[in-house]
Every structure is written in structure tokens, then in C-alpha cells.
Amino acid sequence: MRRAAGYFSGGATAPAFPGSSIYCSQDYPKPRPQIFRYQNGIPIVSDKSISGPRGASPKTKDATEGRRLGCQESTPSKLTPGASNASTIENRPSEIPDWIAYDRQVLRFYAYFIDDVGENGLEQWRVRKCILYYYLEDGTLMISEPKEDNSGLRQGTFLRKHRVRLRDKPSEYISWRDVTVGQPLAIYGRQFHITGCDAYTRGFMLSKGVSVAEDKKLPEGPYQKEVQRQTKPECSKTAPCTSELLEARPRDQFMKYNRKVLRFSAYWDDTKSAFGDKLSFILQYYLVDDTVEIFEAKCVNSGRDSFPVFLRRMKLPKSSYGVGGRPLSADSRTRTSLSFYNWRDFRIGDTIKIYGRGMVLAEADDFTRRWYKDQLGMEDFELDPVKAG
């Protein structure tokens, strides 16, 4: 036993047998990493784990990371023993970054630009409305064009969201101070005329000490005027209606005869002319507005090119007129005293004149036969089909 005691007393370590060694967890510090911290009173997430001895204050972020987050780095002040840390933090200069101060805050401006239109007899230019969105959190800009019915344009997002450079100063970007109501704004070669803004945008600019002009009236181009004229519920009583689609017709006729069409089979004997032939057609009479439309009947292996419409839907005059026998416009029909075909003028076997071409009505469908029986009291033999001679 004495030898064993002398062996251990000589400074030798005990063998590493289970239960023979003593482990102390307080020999050296084991710091815990942390990623959540406060920078100038703002909670942030650190990219690097901050570690240190227990009880020690965490290391401050470097200036590069602070600038990346949009924070102004403050110089730490010296703490005196016994002083409160809260009062020292309140005395530090702090600045809230834009991505927190203006989170989800958008300025909305109303604008328009002039677009040239080529190869169009109705208009040479068009006024195109658009809405300009400015995002305060990152200084980006987006332009959207509201969709209009039958505009013929691919509308929607006109300019995607991104930062736009100034035309005069390419090194700088467009700010909300550069967008002024009543003044044009040049973006990628286009002049956007700012006509107004919403209530939030006006209040924000006034709070920043920027005066905002009153909203301007949006100008109207030839396309907008034509759309307004065609969408009027009724024509003016002083001026005659110039659109064929807006001709005044009794309302009861529309409600009573809507989607009711008289259908006839007809033929045109053109054998007297050179290389002439006997052609078959389908004539449709629309009771809702007393118009006539003629289609060419397709024949299998006829050797002829099929035309979808022989006569477009219109009122058919009984006699031809001057100007080369061309169809009259709505204004010309109101100025001239011409008589037009009515459904009472159509009989099976009769010949009607289609701008100088004599067409024979050969047959009628079931609805047309019932119509003539109910309205005119015609007999079946009067509605029998006629064979082409």
C-alpha cells in the first residue's frame, strides 16, 4: 500500500479506468452561438454566429454588414460601472431602414402616353391610359395598362417592376420626387404625362413638404370618341345616327323577333354569259332588323372556290342606284328615298334582284313555311319547292 501511495504521490496520473478519473465541466468555457440580435434597436438575424465567453457582450456587426442591411452603424459608448445599459442605448443615434419603414407602401400615379397608329383610316394616334406604381421600400417602378374591351392591344403589365434610371442622369435612379402631377416623365424614350394620383399618394407627398397639383383631365383621342359614340344607349335627337349598328328600330320588334330568321334556297342562272353557270345560294332574312344576308351553297366537286359570304348582312334595295351599284352606307340610306325588300315580298318561285343579279327563290325551310302560313295564311301548294329550270 505504501508503494502504491508513493507511486501516485510522485505526480503520476491514474490509469484511465472507468470510475477512476474525475471530469470537471467548469475547466474551460463553452460559449453558445447566437444569430438573433439587436442593431440600433431593430431585431435582425446575423449571417455569422456570434460567440464568446459566458457573461461577455456579443461582438458588434462589421460596417459592411450594417450597410448591407441599410442601417447606420453607431459608435458604441463606454459604460461606467453601475450605469444602466437602457439609458445608453436610447442616446445612440439610430435610423430605420427603408425596407422596414416603408414596408408594403406603394405610391400610385395615373398617366397616359401617345402611341402612333399606322395604316389605320380611323386614327393616326391613340391615347393609352396607364397606372404608375412606385414602391417606397426599394425604389422600384412598375407600369400597368388597364385592359379595355376590343382595343386590339395586348394590355396588362407594360413595364415590369425594377429600378429605372433617369434619362438626364444615367447614374441615378427615378425617385418619387421625380414624379410630379402635371409634368411629363421620360422612361425608356416614352413621355408619360402624369395626370393625377390617389389620396394616399397625395397625403404622403404633402407630409414630405412636396406640393401636389390638382388632377388633370385625360385627353380623348379619335378611338375613345368612336367608342363613346358606339356605346351610347340611343342616338341623339338632333343629329342623325351614323352607325349602322345603332339605327333606331322599334324595341318591340327586337324583343319579338330576336333570333328569328327566314331561310330560303335560291339559284342564279348565269348561263347566258361566257363561261356562266347555274349557282346555288342560301338567302337569310332577319326579322329583327329587316336585313338580308346571302351565302353561296357549297357543292361537292364543283371545281369552284367557295366564298363564305356573297352579300353581307344589310338592307336589300329593290332597285339599283348610281355610284356603280355599290352598297349604301347608313347615312346615304337616310338621305335617299329607296324602297327595300321586306319578308312579305318573298314568294317561292319569284325572282328578286340582288344588285342586278336575278335570283329565284326555290325552297324554304320548315320555320319559314310555318311563318308564312301563320302570318299570311298561305296554303301548302303555294310553298312547294321549285326545281331549277
Look at residue 88 and tell me whether its pLDDT is greater than 50.
no
Answer yes or no: is 38 within a domain. no
376 plus 300 within the same structural domain:
yes
Answer yes or no: is 159 within a domain. yes
Residue 254's pLDDT is 73
| Local structure of residue 354 (DSSP, 8 states) | E
Residue 82 region by backbone torsions, left for phi larger than 0, else alpha for psi between -120 and 50, else beta: left
Residue type, 154: R
255 plus 360 within the same structural domain:
yes
- Residue 382 has φ and ψ, to the nearest 5°, of -75, -15
Answer yes or no: is 15 within a domain. no
Range with lowest mean pLDDT among 141-145, 160-164, 248-252, 301-305: 248-252
The model's pTM: 0.42
376 plus 265 within the same structural domain:
yes
Cell of 382: 303555294
Cell of 233: 344607349
In 10 A of CB 372, how many CB atoms?
Answer: 20
C-alpha 363/C-alpha 262 separation (Å) is: 11
Please choose, from the candidates 46, 25, 28, 29, the residue with its C-alpha nearest in 3D space to the C-alpha of residue 37: 46
| Local structure of residue 189 (DSSP, 8 states) | T
C-alpha 309/C-alpha 293 separation (Å) is: 8
Mean per-residue pLDDT, 125-150: 91
255 plus 358 within the same structural domain:
yes
- Residue 278 has φ and ψ, to the nearest 5°, of -100, 115
Tell me: the pLDDT tens digits for 97-133?
A: 888 888 889 999 999 999 888 777 677 888 999 999 9
What's the number of domains the chain is made of?
Answer: 2
Domain that residue 371 falls in: 250-383
C-alpha 101/C-alpha 21 separation (Å) is: 59
- Residue 173 has φ and ψ, to the nearest 5°, of -105, 160
- Average pLDDT value for the chain: 76
C-alpha 355/C-alpha 292 separation (Å) is: 13
Mean per-residue pLDDT, 71-97: 47
C-alpha 311/C-alpha 289 separation (Å) is: 16
Residue 355 region by backbone torsions, left for phi larger than 0, else alpha for psi between -120 and 50, else beta: left
Answer yes or no: is 351 within a domain. yes
280 plus 196 within the same structural domain:
no
The domain spanning residue 193 has which CATH number? 2.30.29.170
Looking at the chain, list the stretches that DSSP marks H as alpha helix, in order from N- to C-terminal side.
2-9, 63-68, 85-90, 98-101, 199-207, 222-230, 251-257, 330-335, 366-376
